[in-house]
Amino acid sequence: MERLFHGKIIIELPFKLLTGAHIGNANDGFAIGGVDKVVIRDAVTRLPIVPGSSLKGKLRSIVEALEGMEKKQPLEHGKWYGRSHESGGQTLYRHEADTREEALKNAVDRTFGTTGKGSADSNHPARLAVGDAQVTKDTAEVLADLEGDFPFTEIKSENFLDRITSAANPRQLERVPAGSVFVSRLTYTVEDTGHMQDDLKYLLAALKWLEDDYIGGNGSRGYGRLKFGKAEQLPLDTIPSLPIRVTVKPRSAYLQDQEPAAQEFASVVEFRQALEGTLLAPLRN
């Protein structure tokens, strides 16, 4: 399998939580100190994190939908969503190209990778790496002052009522408070300069979609809304947000030990507009 290397696009991607978020740990469903669902934390600092796998999985599912609709191949029909998995009586669809040649035709496969059906020519490694999102120093300092049974988080009490019997089912969920700022690192490896514009188009469209959606659980109840880049401070919010920082690093920078300067963008929209200018020019030289 021939793989070329033209450089990397490194995106330091900050986001502010506009509402409390619950990114569940593996022990969700087990009562710990009276809390029914706890958040995932860094094993060393005990600060809450958003796993890169959670963010990448969410982005992939959005790109699948965006590209599928644009190519007029809806979710339930046709070859586009050719993978199905029976889980709990539910069919889950996921696009997986069966060959590398087929994968290179689709932004979702090129960007997020595919394993195909297991033939010798089915695997196409992902071009996009997504790191765990860590809270900023300012966020950690504010969260450290919270008073509660769990460090750095809040406990949200809810009560589910059976509309037939009126039986109450109270529960408590651990959340990362609104106003918290996280930073993830996305690294896109440029293997084909003819693909990068299209791949980034879908990636940034997915980020805009995610701003109108949610991350984590319980999104239908208002959890997990976020804003990438600079965001207005919420009432009583003292945590500053950060701009998106993009470093375009061509192959020559690695050979000559150069470190290109990062460019800053206040929003995903500004970043997307820069793609139409000279931002990616160093990779085409």
Work out the angle at residue 78's Cα, subtended by the Cα atoms of residues 76 and 82, and round it to the nearest 5 degrees.
80
Query: Per the confidence metrics, is the pTM higher than 0.95?
Result: no
Determine contact, residues 117/84, Cβ cutoff 8 Å.
Answer: no
Say which residue the tokens 């009490």 belong to: 157
Q: Which two tokens stand for residue 33?
A: 């100190």
Residue spans per domain, the chain: 7-284
- CB count within 10 Å of CB 95 equals 24
The string of pLDDT tens digits covering residues 133-179 is 999 999 999 999 987 778 898 888 776 676 777 777 777 888 999 99
Residues shown for the chain: 285
Q: Which two tokens stand for residue 260?
A: 């290109």
Inform me whether the pLDDT recorded for 64 exceeds 60.
yes
- Which has the minimum average pLDDT: 53-57, 90-94, 160-164? 90-94
Give dist(CA 132, CA 263) in Å, integer.
Answer: 22
Give dist(CA 153, CA 158) in Å, integer.
Answer: 16
Say which residue the tokens 């593996």 belong to: 26
Alpha carbon 34 to its chain centroid, in Å, reads 30
